[in-house]
Amino acid sequence: MADIYDATIICDHCSKPTDKAILVKNGFKIRAWFCRKCKKEWLHPSDLAAYNAFKRLKERDFRVKLRLVGNSWAISIPKEIIEYEDVTVSKTVQLSLDEPGRLSIFFTSMRKIIK
Ligand SMILES: [Zn+2]
């Protein structure tokens, strides 16, 4: 099925074909159309919905417990984040200590990156 982004969108103000662009918000890529003449932009509806879902999660402050499991320590990742990252089975993720007191987890999901 063709994506709406493949279509040419006509500006509802000046009736000229719009140009396509990719906006980056918080590292999130959103496909858009814009009219050079009217300086108006339209965001791709599914990219916008995905971005809003991301933004709602980003604004939350999760508190999780750090506990000893055998010789390692474990934290529970809230299910909202796991669902957002499309994790359905046990997997290996990449961890890195960014700076003292700050740890990053990299999920390998590439679904939010638009080619
Ligand atoms: Zn226009």
Distance in angstroms (rounded) separating the CA atoms of residues 9 and 33: 7
The rounded radius of gyration (Å) of the Cα atoms in the chain is 20
Same domain? For 21 and 71 the reply is no
pTM (two decimals)? 0.65
Residue 22 CA to ligand 1 center (angstroms) comes to 18
pLDDT exceeds 80 at position 19: yes
Instruction: Output the pLDDT for position 113.
Output: 46
Residue 39 CA to ligand 1 center (angstroms) comes to 7
Structural domain harbouring 26: 1-59
Same domain? For 41 and 90 the reply is no
Same domain? For 68 and 55 the reply is no
Q: What is the pLDDT of the chain when averaged over all its residues?
A: 89
Residue 115 CA to ligand 1 center (angstroms) comes to 27
> Total domain count for the chain?
2
